[in-house]
Amino acid sequence: MQAHELTAIAPQHPPALADLRVDGPRLWDSLMQLAKIGGTPKGGVCRLALTELDREGRDLFVAWAKEIGCTIRVDAIGNIFARRAGLRDDLPPVMTGSHIDTQPTGGKFDGNYGVLAGLEVLRTLAAANVYTDAPLEVVVWTNEEGSRFVPVMMGSGVFSGAFTLEHALAQRDREGIAVSDALAAIGYNGAEMVAPHAVGAYFEAHIEQGPVLEANETTIGVVQGALGQRWYDVTVHGMEAHAGPTPMELRRDALLVAADLIHAVNRIALDHAPHGHGTVGWVDVHPNSRNVIPGRVTLTVDLRAADDASLSAMDAALRDACAQAGAKKSMTIDVEQVVYFAPQPFEPSMVAAVRQGADALGLSSMDVISGAGHDAVYVARVAPAAMIFVPCKDGISHNEIEDARADHLEAGCNVLLQAMLRAAQAVEGAAS
């Protein structure tokens, strides 16, 4: 058998692999236990990366994984790999996972679901005495959210080579604490070098964080890939002046021009429907005084699209809008691109495994595109990857009221189980 081949087998009176099902109540109970660590009065979770609360969450996951016989490895950026040995440990693992750090006002399910769904898959296989030829791994990626440290998706980014370990370890939070020191403080500064060891397949289960599945009354989102992103800092240079004596026609009002640009960002996104997105999420007005005409405005622009051609066209449209607005009002407008993520399609065979898993379980499904960044986006650069989405209530995420139905979470976890087994059997076509 070749190094990339994987055959799921069950040597002692196994159930039919297609009949395996996860324990939904156990999955829900695990999610609720983890949510207590950093739980907020509004029912959410505040568990920032590399804090003591993050350590408690990591310790709980590690303890659970060890209970079912997993071995634990921690690399130098703090990524945790819980490994269930295969009958041939020289084969690349089938991997799943996500993150357990949250936003300051985060919810119970973002990231956490992907980690604990992976754990539940391993628990299910252990309880059924099902083994695999190749090992299985559940990974907890470090600092996906980027709330305390930037860049976002830090652990998977270092793993995939998007940026160096040295760069990540040197980043500091607002209190001046470096990632390297924070990792040491919680005891997760692993000795193992960060390297994209061979991965046979990577699946990530996640709540959708948007309203599409719920609006379409669909249980499973078969994720085709993730939108590419370009982020900008745009600064409009006008001139401060007294709000009383300065005639309207003689003003160089930077905020007025910035308002036009905000409308332009919205128009650019709509011109690239259905997957074009445009957002101005932060505005700084100088001098920000009641009776002074604004002389400088800085705003952030976030453009997203499903393909690079559209994203490039949106970039050109933004720059053209800024040039025209500046010329019209005799103002200088600076445009600085600060982030670029190329659109990331997922591996077709892995996507097909997700779709087939949903079909085999009789679950409704639809093709979707991820508008958010996820660890799977980076992992897809070095391994075949795919994602499984389930609905979240009202499409709300990054919010303490984030919610999801237990039956949807169970369904997504069963798809994860079946997709991993289908990926394991894909080469030879059958279990033995």
> What does the DSSP assignment read for 229-284?
EEEEEEEEE---EETTTS-GGG---HHHHHHHHHHHHHHHHHTTTTT-EEE---EE
Same domain for 337 and 347, yes or no, is no
Is residue 431 a part of any domain in this protein? Answer: no
Q: Across the strands, what pairs with 45?
A: 39, 106
Is 378 within 8 Å of 160 (Cβ atoms)? yes
Q: Would you say residue 331 lies in a domain?
A: yes
- Quick one: 203 and 238 in the same domain? no
Are 253 and 379 found together in one domain?
A: no
- Is 302 buried (19+), middle (13-18) or exposed (0-12) by CB count in 10 A? middle
Q: Are residues 107 and 196 in the same domain?
A: yes
Residue 17, Cα to own-chain centre: how many angstroms?
29
Looking at the fold, whether 169 and 80 belong to one and the same domain comes out as yes
Other beta carbons less than 10 A from residue 352's beta carbon: 16
The CATH number of whichever domain residue 334 belongs to comes to 3.30.70.360
- pLDDT tens for the 432 residues of the chain, in order: 333 333 343 333 345 778 899 999 999 999 999 999 999 999 999 999 999 999 999 999 999 999 999 999 999 999 999 999 988 888 899 999 999 999 999 999 999 999 999 999 999 999 999 888 889 999 999 999 999 998 999 999 999 999 999 999 999 999 999 999 999 999 999 988 887 678 999 999 999 999 999 999 999 999 999 999 999 999 999 999 999 999 999 999 999 999 999 999 999 999 999 999 999 999 999 999 999 999 999 999 999 999 999 999 999 999 999 999 999 999 999 999 988 989 999 999 999 999 999 999 999 999 999 998 899 999 999 999 999 999 999 999 999 999 999 999 999 999 999 988 877 652 232 333
Question: By CB neighbour count within 10 A (0-12 exposed, 13-18 middle, 19+ buried), where does 212 fall?
Answer: middle
Q: Does residue 2 lie in a domain region?
A: no
Number of domains in the chain: 2
Enumerate the H helices of 277-402 as residue ranges: 308-329, 348-360, 375-379
Neighbours of 127 (CB within 10 A): 13
Cα 204 from Cα 183, distance rounded (Å): 24
Q: Which of 372, 378, 322, 401 is nearest to 109 (CA)?
A: 401
Q: Determine how β-strand 201-207 pairs with β-strand 332-341.
A: unpaired
Cβ–Cβ < 8 Å for 86, 136: yes
Claim to verify: residue 250 and residue 260 sit in the same structural domain: yes
CA 120 to CA 65: how far, in whole Å?
10
Strand partners, 84: 136
d(CA 259, CA 238): 13
Element (H, E) at 337: strand 332-341
- CA–CA distance, 97 with 383 (Å, rounded to integer): 14
Looking at residue 64, which CATH number applies to its domain? Answer: 3.40.630.10
- DSSP state letter for 416: H
Residues 209, 131, single domain; the answer is: yes
Tokens representing 149 are 């440290």
Residue 294 sits in the same domain as residue 329: yes
Is residue 432 assigned to a domain? no
261 part of a folded domain:
yes
Q: 145 and 193: one domain? A: yes
> Which domain-ending residue is among 321, 341, 361?
341
**Predicted TM-score of the model (pTM):** 0.87
Do 215 and 242 belong together in one domain?
A: no
Pairing relation of β-strands 136-140 and 332-341?
unpaired
Q: Is 233 found in the same domain as 192? A: no
The answer to whether the beta carbons of residues 379 and 160 sit under 8 Å apart is yes
Domain assignment of residue 3, yes or no:
no
Query: Whole-angstrom Cα distance, residue 115 to residue 99?
Result: 6
Q: Is residue 1 part of a domain?
A: no
β-pairing verdict for 385-390 and 201-207:
parallel
End-of-domain residue from the set 341, 371, 394: 341
Q: Are residues 217 and 242 in the same domain?
A: no
Looking at 341, 374, 389, the residue that finishes a domain is 341
Domain residues for 146?
8-226+343-425
Residue 425 confidence (pLDDT): 54
Q: Is residue 406 part of a domain?
A: yes
